[in-house]
Amino acid sequence: MTTKKGFIAYITNESRRKASFNKRKKGLIKKVRELSTLCGLEACAIVYRSNEPEPEVLPSQLGRMLLRILHTQINASARIAKVIKSKLEDELYRLRKENKHKELEHFMYQCITRN
């Protein structure tokens, strides 16, 4: 005989909701560890609580690794932005120099044709 599925709804009682959250979080952590062990991969879970601004990364070693990866990506995008900015500044310098040269040629041509 199969078990009857329970009705899923928001738990209004705060103490019951916290207890349920903690039990389910433990079960989730267990599943993540099992998945990691059975499949031979690194796995983590990111848990957001409704009353806390920072997420919890489980296990914490992977949380540190994720932060390191995010920091590396931020540094890489900052480096790319710096290179692009440098190239654009060089292009702007070249165009201004070229523009100045053309203005000077135009001025010299006007001076010659007036006389």
Q: Which helix (H) or strand (E) holds 78?
A: helix 60-114
Rg (CA), the chain: 31
Put simply, whether the predicted model's pTM sits higher than 0.75 gets the answer no
Q: Which residue has the higher pLDDT, 47 or 75?
A: 47
Decide: 59 and 34 in contact? Cβ < 8 Å: no
DSSP letter (8 states) at residue 55: -
Predicted local distance difference test score (pLDDT) of residue 50? 78
Instruction: List pLDDT tens digits, range 23-60.
Output: 998 999 899 888 888 988 777 888 888 787 777 777 76
Predicted local distance difference test score (pLDDT) of residue 96? 97
3-state secondary structure of 47: strand
How many of the other CB atoms lie within 10 Å of CB of 43? 15
